[in-house]
Amino acid sequence: MQAAVAKVMARWGRLDVLANNAGYAILGAFEEFSLAEVKQNFDVNVFGLMQMTQAVLPIMHAQQHGRIINIASISGTVAGPSQSIYSATKAAVIMMSEALAAEVAPFGIQVTAVGPSGVRTDFLDGRSMKRSAKTLPEYQVVAQTMTGLGQLNHHQSGDPVLVGQAIVKLAQLAHAPRRLYLGNWSVAALQTKIEEVVNEVNQHLDLTQSIDHE
């Protein structure tokens, strides 16, 4: 990572935009995963992204300018069967990005977590997506979800070219959002999730408010 950053600086003399895009999904029932499988997914999706970000922050700090774009997923906000580990990694990316954005704003650095919905790439192919090594057949809801994802593969609504164009536009915004959700399905899922959270909070408001000193 340091070598890549040094190469950019040697050629251009500055570093204005970092887009962290590396990641993959490991899918299955939570009970099926080994700790090694979980750690590997976090190493790529979270810790690799953090290392790359820490490598460029001193440069952007000194420049008093920079854009950091972290590719998360709608799955980091809206989770479902089979996605426990992948969603956990992307939720970590989103929340880290929001906290970092508040920390580095005084230095002219803006940070955005991007949450696309399905994009028509090889993301759901075996060469990209991974399954847990162990399979428990009693988790029918996971099996049904995996069947649906298989049918969705290469039929997702998102166009990767348009996603790339949106990220370029994001990097050029004078005031970038801390979260940017991409795709109509992403927005619909987010709105449904917000309503669910509000309803659940309101249903248990008495319990929620019961812990504070009078």
| 88 secondary structure, DSSP code | H
Q: What span, in angstroms and rounded, lies between the C-alpha atoms of 89 and 72?
A: 8
194 token code pair: 């917000």
Alpha-carbon distances of 157 from 7, 45, 152, 172, 182, rounded to whole Å = 36, 23, 9, 25, 11
Active site residue 86: yes
Catalytic residue among 24, 86, 139, 181: 86
Secondary structure string (H, E, C) spanning 58-79: HHHHHHCCEEEEEECCHHHCCC
The torsion angles phi and psi of 119, rounded to 5 degrees, stand at: -120, 140
- For residue 179, which of 75, 53, 44, 69 has the smallest C-alpha distance? 69
Which residues are annotated as catalytic?
Answer: 86
